Amino acid sequence: MKSVSGKRNKLFFNVGAGFEFCVDTRCNVWYIVSTFFLEEKTGVTQEETKSSWVPTNPLYDPKKPMQIGGQAVIEGVMMRAPGSVATALRRMSGDIVVKKEAFVSLNEKFKLLNVPVLRGAIGLIDMMYLGIKTLNYSAEIAMMDLEQEENSKNGNGQATDRQPKKPSTLALVGTLAVALALGIAIFFVTPIVITTKLFHFEQTAFEFNLVAGVIRIAILLGYLAAISLMKDIRRLFQYHGAEHKAVFAFELSDQLLPAVVRKHTRFHPRCGTSFLLIVMFVAILSFSLLDAFLIRFFGEMTIVLRLVTHLPFIPIVGGIAYEFIKFSAKHATTWWGKIVIAPGLWLQRITTKEPDESQLEVAIVALRCALGLEDAGKYALVASLRAEAVPAAPGN
């Protein structure tokens, strides 16, 4: 199978703030995976002061936590700010294209949903949907570049002028359902089956879920360690690191310049990787309490009963984990907060890599556009396509 620069045929999807999936854009075979700055392009000069780049996004409130987030996509970064989402992608030509659109979460639309635990579960589904939609777009741009490369190899240097296809809501919902089913099957059903078949803890709530939890974490760590050796995945992890560095620079009121952003750490306490790990720890305790109640009520626990009761309980586990990571992020500088977030930060040594300057540029452009610091229109895809369509001037 052909690919663009060896990395264009994979589509990665971060499930909310936790799971990441990868799909081959030609074969549609899903696999589980866990998941800046030229001055003449960004309009930022070295003389720019911190006070001159206060976000113009009217919905941004610096007093509220967890307002900025993002994820790595194919050759780019998606950044989400209050009310808007901006996705910046690096094309094979070297140009950066940005797609910015309005986005209001379900929790923001319906205030009744914005209650502890429930808001985390709803937010997880919300971000899964947004992630799929964003990654479909990045995959389309990647395929456009692939077509252009193939045309050049065949002697046809004409640039493609087609616009990316807009996926239907039904297609996005279908992809979301597949992603959820795969994540649940691998990270929840598989550990239960293995623990039931290989051990004899069915009737002991804590011991069973402790072993199942260890297996669950081992599956995650083993898979992440294996795929991190792949060149394509490493590049994705570099964009992941670029996203973290840009967000950290902004949150600490630092200048959004490549040289400045590069100095910040790539390990962020609110990362989806950390969330996934916390979900697994919370699952051990939550499922243990649930099993203890079921054993007391029914008298005997079976694998069918566990599956039937555990699977509907997963959104609650996700909601509890969301509240936990939100609380720990607020106290990340305390001694106990550092202990709590440490496992997630250690795991990010696998899922993030040091980005190069071109990747940092992409992340900053995405962040600036999402915050309203920069006009996304000048990075519009149509402008990039027009530039490609202009024939090169003949040499003298």
Residue 218: per-residue pLDDT: 93
Of 325, 106, 347, 117, residue with least CA distance to 223: 347
pLDDT, tens only, 7-50:
333 333 333 333 333 322 222 222 222 232 222 222 333 333 33
pLDDT, tens only, 360-372:
999 999 999 998 8
Better pLDDT: 10 or 188:
188
Residue 76: per-residue pLDDT: 92
Mean pLDDT over 279-286 rounds to 91
The residue to which tokens 């024939």 are assigned: 391
CA 262 – CA 355 distance, rounded (Å): 8
pLDDT, tens only, 309-344:
998 888 888 889 888 877 877 777 788 888 888 888
Mean pLDDT over 179-195 rounds to 87
Instruction: Report which DSSP code applies to 63.
Output: T
Residue 240 and residue 75 in contact, taking contact as beta carbons nearer than 8 Å: no
- pLDDT at residue 105 above 60? yes
Residue 42 and residue 362 in contact, taking contact as beta carbons nearer than 8 Å: no
Paired tokens of 172: 């996005």
pTM of the model: 0.74
Residue 390: per-residue pLDDT: 45
CA 394 – CA 396 distance, rounded (Å): 7
CB-neighbour burial class of residue 153 (10 A; exposed 0-12, middle 13-18, buried 19+): exposed
| Least-confidence region, from 36-45, 54-63, 281-290 | 36-45
Instruction: Provide the 10 A C-beta neighbour count for residue 228.
Output: 17
- pLDDT at residue 384 above 90? no
Query: How many angstroms separate the first and last alpha carbons of the chain?
Result: 40
Residue 25: per-residue pLDDT: 27
Residue 361: per-residue pLDDT: 94
Residue 20: per-residue pLDDT: 37
Query: Taking phi first (over 0 means left), then psi (-120 to 50 degrees means alpha), and beta for anything else, what does residue 318 get?
Result: alpha
Average pLDDT of the chain is 75
Better pLDDT: 171 or 132:
132
Residue 1: per-residue pLDDT: 34
What DSSP element (H or E) covers 189? none
